[in-house]
Every structure is written in structure tokens, then in C-alpha cells.
Amino acid sequence: MNQEIIKQISQELQVKEKQVENTLHLLEEGNTIPFISRYRKEVTGNLDEEQIRKISDVYQYQINLLERKEDVIRLIDEKGLLTEELKQKILECQKLVEVEDLYRPYKEKKKTKATEAIKNGLEPLAKMIMACPEQGDFSSLTKSFITEKVKTMEEAILGAQYIIAEWISDNASSRKWIRNYIFRKGIMKSTKKKNQEDSDHVYEMYYSYEEEIKYIKPHRILALNRGEKEKILTVSIEVDKKDIINYLEEKYIKKKSFVENTIKEAILDSYKRLFFPSVEREIRSELTGKAEDSAIHNFSCNLEKLLLTPPMKDRIVLGFDPAYRTGCKLAVLDPTGKNLKIEVIYPHEPKKEVEKSKKILLDLIDTYHIDIIAIGNGTASRESEAFVADTIKEAKRKVEYILVSEAGASVYSASKLAIEEFPDLHVEQRSAISIGRRLQDPLSELVKIDPESIGVGLYQHDIANKKLSESLAFSVSKIVNQVGVNINTASASLLKYVSGITKKNIDKILQYRNQHGKIQSREEIKKNKLLSEKTYEQAIGFLRIVDGENIFDETDIHPESYDIAKKVLEKLHLTEKDIGTDQIKEVLKNQKISDFCQELHCDIYTLENIFDSFTKPNRDPRDEMEKPILKSDILHLEDLKVGMKLQGTVRNVIDFGAFIDIGLKNDGLVHISKMTHRYIKHPMEVVQVGDIVDCYVDEILTDKKKVSLSLLPPE
């Protein structure tokens, strides 16, 4: 393990070197990030999943960097051109781009103007010119270089200039200086291409746009990239080249000489033809990389909050998939998500069977005692909301409704997984079930969908798929393991995110459940070898056995700590039957956990987990989140007035603001400037997906049927 790399990571992440070293040891031993984060806190010093992942990623980058340094040193040495000074410079590089800059002059080059000039024997002439001779003239300087291939003095000088231009372009310190200068002084510009259609004016703000590179926001980089890719925008970097040319002239023209103008011409050629196009590509690539990282982080945070949406437990739900021509599909679901009844109604154009549709809906409400109607927010959703709001006024029982995001529902409904789940149903009917289940248990249902399709990101379709998928899979895994999984009810889609579990393990678990029924204990899993020894260690703490043989199996206490948990109960004169009762809560309230550490030879983190589990054996972090807003009537754009106070649910948080569902067809946008009076770098400092917030109507855009909102009360 490289101690220098460990030291660098420690400084970068502001954690102790020992924490980094211990974490890397745990990862090398094959432990998963959720397991390390939950059950090895005493080893890592209580690092969370994000910190552990960062250590893993940074260490891998540093290893790759070190390997590339060694490769470059070897390749240059094989050419017999390695000096001790160059080797030291390479070893001191902090970034891959710096290593590549130093390697650039030694790379095998494709055919260029400079390589052709070198082939024609003009390299010595280029060296003579770069020496800035004070005496002589071009005629005598070039005389010995006139050949059949180089017929004139002018050709010789031009060839030498090509070589000089390439030397200058390949210089690592010059490239670094120019790259930094453009980052500090450059301007990103875009214009609309002539005769190109942008019918919805998506890129209108970029038709004639410029902004300093150092200030440009990540979402603007991605927007510009997409506009360029769609051939609507021309995007470029512009910089006043005067300072760059002056820098290069001062660096390469050492003294007064008759070749001064020749070198200046070579410098200008080097900048225009070689330097700038290359550095522009590098800068745009770096900006895009940072923008993608920002978008992925944004998407991951939104996804985590969405997955933590509290489930609507013990409710009978009607999933309502809106549509016009093909009708609205309805699915009645019992509290466990089991499908009880499928119906189709046609309350909208073209059939517009309003009364008939009302009767069917009211009969379903009455027959199945429906509590909540979950309406998908896609096509015809607001018309369906109006229909539902009007219909439930006539119901014999209290019924509420909520709009549910149906992003990815159609993808899931047509998937192999959905076909296996509901082989006898049509795609649209499966979609209605998915919409209803998203309300009953969002986590269990959303894990069936590719995270990219869930729809809480920004420009996610413009991001390298592998990079995005890995990050989102990590986010889903993090939340699934935080919440825990009931092994007797979990689907294969949910089980695949449990720490350490493989497809082979999942197949074994499902097969065992089908043959033997309910699994009664964690010990049963071990005894029947449903998981290997290592996988059992990594996964078992996240697998719950509800109402099984052992109350500990219902908690997130790891079996390795069961003996300690029993000793805690003995010390408190309690039994396993007391777990989760008011009595144990009262007893634990007066205990100092630190007092138990020495006596039981146990770390404080394990004991904290045991105490928490005794208080709430099947604790679920989602229970502490705000419940979604249920509605019984509809809001129209015409009902709004500027300054009106509303309550809404945050649906998506992006770099420049947040979208809030206030019950209209389109979510209202709160710009970052309307969130708080204090300075914030990102809207996530104020709001998160799923938050229930008070907001105020800031502007009503009637023509666009949109609303701008503010979180600040009107003055």
C-alpha cells in the first residue's frame, strides 16, 4: 500500500491517514462499502458511505496516475532520452494531464508538417534559428540546407518554422501556463447556426451568449454541449491572445537577432494551428467532466431523497394511469401491493364517457374501501385529476388522491421483469399497478427501474452512461441498505442491491422461499448455505426477518454482535421480550453508553447501534421523512394570484433552482435567487427532493401555463 498516496488522500479528504489506511485494508479484504460504513465504524473512525467511496475512487486514480508515470518514464528511457530532471518532474505530477504534457515531445507522431521538415533535414536549421544568432543573414544560414527536396531559402525557413512551432506546442510548462491563462481569462461563446430550427426555443438564451469560463455553471456547459451536438449552436472559446503571444515571445526570443520575426511567425503559427485548438479541446473536455460530475452528484442526491419517500402503509390504493384514446387504466391494490382488480374507463376525449366512468370509479371505491388514488403525472394527468377530484365528492367514504411521478413506468411495464410479474396483463395495466405501488412503497417499486429513467436529474442523457450508472447504482444500494430488506417479501430487484449479494444468491433465496415458505431466522439462511460465508457476513445485517424466531433478526444488529446485545440486556435486567417496548425505552434513556464499553470490551458505535435497535427493532429511516401531501380538490392556474401562499412538494432540485408540485399541470420553478436571503452555492443547501415547503406565487406566465415561485414571503 503506497504511503505517499495515503498521505495525499488524507490531506485531500481531511481525514486521518490511519482512517484511509484502515479503510483501504477493509476494501482490499473484499468488504462492501455499506458493510464497512455500518459495521466497521470503530476501524474507519465512523466514516460514512460517501467518504469510503471517495477514498476508494481517489486511491484508484492515484494508482492509475502512478502506473502512467512509470509507463511514461519507461517509454522515454527506451528512447535514451530520459534525464534525472525529467524523471523527477514526471514523478511530481499531480494530474494525468501534466504527465501527458511532459510525455508529448517524446511521443511517436503521425505525419505532420514538422515531421516532414525533419525528414527533409531541417531540424539543425531550426536549432540555429532558436539560438537567435546576432550576426549573419538568412542566405548564409540556409545555404547548406538547400537540396532537391528543399529548393529555396524560403522553403527552408518555412520548414524550420514548422519544427519550431511544434517544439513550442510540445513544451509542458508553456501548455500549463496557457491552459491556466485561458481558464482565468477565456470566454465561452455560442451563437445560433443560420437556418437551423429550434422550434421550441429550447436554446434561446444561448443564441448570442458569452460568459467567462471561470464563472460558467455546470448546467450551462451541458446545455451548450447538447445544443452543439444537435447542430443548433456553434460553441467556441475566445481569449485575447496578446498576453499569450507576449509570454511565448519573452520565453523563446532570448536576444536581438535577425531571426526575431521568423520566430515570432513560428510562435503565432504554433498558437493558432497547434496550441489553441488542442488546449481548447482539453479545456472543454475538463469543463464537461466537471459538469458531468456535478450533474451526477445532483442526480444521485435527488434519487436518494426520492427513494427515502415514506411508504403509505396499510392503505388500499387505486393506481390510476391516465390516457385519452386508449382510456385510463385502474388497478386496485391491497395494503401489500397485491392486485385485486383491473378496470378501464374513458372519461376524456374522444369517447368522453364521463358518467359511466364515474360510476365505475365510485363502485371500486365502495367495493374495495379505497383510501387513496395515485394518479400518474403523464399524458392527461391534470384532466384525470379534475375528473377524480369531482368524482370523489360523491363517494360514501373519505378518499384522497395524489399525483405520482410515472417516470420510467412505461419502461418497467414493457420489461422482462414486469412480464414475469404479470404475464396475463397488458403493458398499460402493469403501469397502473406500478403507479399505485410507488405510493405504497416507493423504494421497493422504484428499484425495478433503471435509475436513469426515474427523472430527477438534469441532462442525465448527455452523460457517459457507465459513469452515471455506477454512481446511481451506488446511491440505490446506499439507501436500500440504510432501510434494510425483509427477506421474505423482497423482490429480486430489491435483493440485488443488498450488500454483497449476487444473482446466484438471489436465485437460491427465491427458490428456497418457494419450496419452504417463510424463512424463520438468519441462522436458517446460514445453515442452508443460501449465502457463502463471506457474503453472509456482508449482507446479513441488512436482511430482516420480521416476526421470526429471534427478535434480534428483525433489527440491524449484526449476528456477530448478538452476544454483546444479550449481555446488555442482562446488565439492564431485561429480556428479549422487552425489545421495542416503552419499558426498554425508559430504561435506556437513563444509561450512558460509554459506561458499557470497557465492561463489555466493545466499541461505542456497535453499542449505539444495539441501543437504537432495542428502542426501535425494525426502524426505518423513511418514517422520519415528511409524508406526501394528499389532496381532495384541484387547483387551477386561474385560481392563483401573485403573492398567494401555497404548500407544495419538491420534485426535482437542479443547479439553478427547484421544481415544486403545487397541483398544476406543470411544476412551478423556484429560482436559486428566490430561496433565501443568504448566499448559497446550490439549492440543495435549502431544499431536497420530497420536502414539503411553503411557497409563494412570484409570477404567473399565463401564455406558457407556468408559474414562478418563491420561498421568500412577499415584502
Torsion 433-435-437-440 (CA) sign: negative
In CATH, the number for domain 317-440 is: 3.30.420.140
User: What does the pLDDT read at residue 231?
Assistant: 93
Query: Torsion angle of alpha carbons 271, 273, 275, 278, nearest 10°?
Result: 150
Cis ω before 310 (30° cut-off from 0):
no
| pTM for the structure as a whole | 0.83
Q: Is 296 exposed, middle or buried (0-12, 13-18, 19+ CB in 10 A)?
A: buried
In the predicted structure, residue 121 carries a pLDDT above the cut 80: yes
> Roughly how many angstroms between the first and final C-alpha of the chain, as a whole number?
60
The arrangement of secondary structure in 637-710, i.e. its CATH architecture, is: Beta Barrel (2.40)
In the predicted structure, residue 1 carries a pLDDT above the cut 70: no
Instruction: In whole angstroms, give the CA distance from residue 467 to residue 296.
Output: 8
Going through 149-294 in order, the beta strands assigned E by DSSP cover 187-192, 208-212, 233-238
- Which of 8 and 551 is assigned the larger pLDDT? 551
Domain with CATH 1.10.3500.10 in the chain: 113-296
- Which of 616 and 382 is assigned the larger pLDDT? 616
Task: Please write the tens of the pLDDT for every residue from 329-374.
Answer: 999 999 989 999 999 999 999 999 999 999 999 999 999 999 999 9
In the predicted structure, residue 138 carries a pLDDT above the cut 70: yes
Question: pLDDT-derived band of residue 459, with 50, 70 and 90 as boundaries?
Answer: low
In the predicted structure, residue 153 carries a pLDDT above the cut 90: yes
In the predicted structure, residue 638 carries a pLDDT above the cut 90: no
Instruction: Specify which residues 434 forms β-bridges with.
Output: none
Q: Is 35 exposed, middle or buried (0-12, 13-18, 19+ CB in 10 A)?
A: buried
CB 530 within 8 A of CB 575: no
What is the CB-side half-sphere exposure of residue 560 using CA atoms within 13 A?
15
Edge to edge, what strands does the sheet with 187-192 contain? 208-212, 187-192, 233-238
Instruction: In whole angstroms, give the CA distance from residue 205 to residue 201.
Output: 9
Q: Which of 117-129 are b and which e, b meaning 16 or more Cβ less than 10 Å from the residue's Cβ?
A: bbebebbebbebb
Classified by CATH at the fold level, domain 482-623 comes out as: DNA polymerase; domain 1 (1.10.150)
- Give the homologous superfamily in CATH for domain 3-106: RuvA domain 2-like (1.10.10.650)
Helices (H) and strands (E) in the chain, counts: 31, 15
Instruction: In whole angstroms, give the CA distance from residue 596 to residue 601.
Output: 8
In angstroms, the Cα distances linking 236 to 121, 176, 180, 222, 488 are 37, 20, 17, 14, 57
What phi and psi values does residue 225 have, to the nearest 5 degrees?
Answer: -60, -45
What phi and psi values does residue 137 have, to the nearest 5 degrees?
Answer: -150, 175
Instruction: In whole angstroms, give the CA distance from residue 298 to residue 323.
Output: 31
Domain with CATH 1.10.10.650 in the chain: 3-106
User: What does the pLDDT read at residue 452?
Assistant: 78
**Host H or E run for residue 651:** strand 645-654
CB atoms inside a 10 Å sphere around CB 620: 17
What is the CB-side half-sphere exposure of residue 416 using CA atoms within 13 A?
2
Domain with CATH 2.40.50.140 in the chain: 637-710
Domain with CATH 3.30.420.140 in the chain: 317-440
Domain with CATH 1.10.150.310 in the chain: 482-623
Instruction: In whole angstroms, give the CA distance from residue 484 to residue 494.
Output: 10
Mean pLDDT of the chain: 92
CB 392 within 8 A of CB 632: yes
In the predicted structure, residue 39 carries a pLDDT above the cut 70: yes
DSSP 633: S
Instruction: Specify which residues 647 forms β-bridges with.
Output: 694
Instruction: In whole angstroms, give the CA distance from residue 645 to residue 666.
Output: 17
Q: Is 704 exposed, middle or buried (0-12, 13-18, 19+ CB in 10 A)?
A: exposed
CB 336 within 8 A of CB 344: no
Q: 3-class SS at 670?
A: strand
In angstroms, the Cα distances linking 369 to 341, 363, 365, 394 are 13, 10, 5, 14
Instruction: In whole angstroms, give the CA distance from residue 351 to residue 60.
Output: 61
Q: Is 241 exposed, middle or buried (0-12, 13-18, 19+ CB in 10 A)?
A: middle
Kindly state the average pLDDT of the residues 526-542: 96
In CATH, the number for domain 113-296 is: 1.10.3500.10
Q: What percent of the chain has pLDDT over 90?
A: 75
Task: Please write the tens of the pLDDT for every residue from 302-328.
Answer: 899 989 999 998 899 999 999 999 999
Instruction: In whole angstroms, give the CA distance from residue 351 to residue 337.
Output: 31
In the predicted structure, residue 538 carries a pLDDT above the cut 90: yes
CB atoms inside a 10 Å sphere around CB 147: 12
